[in-house]
Amino acid sequence: MKQILVAIDFSKNSIQALEYAISIANTVKAHIMMVWVDKPDTEDSIYKNTDNEHRHEAKLRFEELITKYSKSLKKGTLSYKLRKGKVYKEIANQAKYNDAYLIVTGSHGVSGFESFMIGSNASKIVTYSPCPVVTLRESYSSKKIIKKIVIPVDNSSSTRQKVPFAMELAQYFGSEIHVLEVQSSTLKSIRAMVSSYTAQVAKFLTDNKVPHVVKSVDAANITSATIKYAEEEKADLIIIMTEQEEETANIWLGPYAMQMVNNSPIPVLSIHPKEIESLAR
């Protein structure tokens, strides 16, 4: 069975992420592993020399979550893992170890118990993850069914790579895919390219008998246009490519992906372009 990882810091947002993950797991038939990462000791850590007590409390809270949510997970098992180190790296490492299908994390989690915030690491989790990542905000009202999926199409060479995963989810949930052609340039050659990519995506969905609609918008900011359209259509999920940028031996999310992860009120599923997947690992 598939494996879904959920980043947990016991904040309200991370529990929402767990509930969201359960709804996906029940549909795609997956196990869920909750992952909590302990902060390494530093001189100014308020938890210095209290590792055992801190980890013991985390275990107790996980046992409470398992008791509460195990029955909600219909087709798989609910487990947890405690790791130590940097949040984003340890969650990515666990995802690699489990060959995870998906990671689900809150994008703005805050917890009095945790010594750091999962939310503050959300973009880094997306950056370093070896698999797709869903990020969702605390303000999101969780739904059990994904009825509408929005996939923006732009002029990047990787923009079409998200379509197979989007189609797979749509087939699992019986969703309608909204293909949003985002024209952000005035150059005819680039506009023609985006239109060509959009037509290819639409044909792929048609050939695979996936319900879909195609819309086109002109916008300077791809993220703002996508979020606006998704809100107007009451979409349940936005799927994007991470459009990461490599700088000075580090991998960073590109500006539009970063804006989407940080600002979208609708859950965002981020996928790495295949050509830079190895760099992100």
Cα 119 to Cα 15, 17, 50, 104, 182, distances in angstroms: 12, 11, 23, 12, 28
Q: Describe the crossing of helices 163-173 and 12-28 by its angle, rounded to 10 degrees.
A: 80
Q: What is the pLDDT of residue 43?
A: 45
pLDDT at 237 over 70: yes
**Is the CB of residue 41 less than 8 Å from the CB of residue 50?**
no
Q: What is the pLDDT of residue 188?
A: 95
pLDDT of 25-62, one tens digit each?
Answer: 999 999 999 999 986 554 444 444 446 777 889 999 99
Q: What is the pLDDT of residue 142?
A: 66
In 3D space, the residue among 270, 281, 273 whose CA is nearest the CA of residue 245 turns out to be 273
CB atoms within 10 A of CB 175: 22
Phi and psi at residue 178, to the nearest 5°: -105, 110
Question: Domains along the chain?
Answer: 2-136 (3.40.50.620), 148-280 (3.40.50.620)
pLDDT at 150 over 90: yes
The mean of the pLDDT values for the chain is: 85
Q: What is the pLDDT of residue 215?
A: 97
pLDDT of 151-188, one tens digit each?
Answer: 999 988 899 999 999 999 999 999 999 999 999 999 99
DSSP class of 98: H
pLDDT at 206 over 90: yes
Question: What's the CA gap between 6 and 22, in Å, rounded?
Answer: 10
Which of 47-61, 165-179, 198-212, 229-243 has the lowest average pLDDT? 47-61
pLDDT band at 2 (very low <50, low <70, confident <90, very high): very high
Cα 14 to Cα 81, 110, 136, 194, distances in angstroms: 15, 9, 9, 36
In 3D space, the residue among 209, 143, 206, 152 whose CA is nearest the CA of residue 178 turns out to be 152
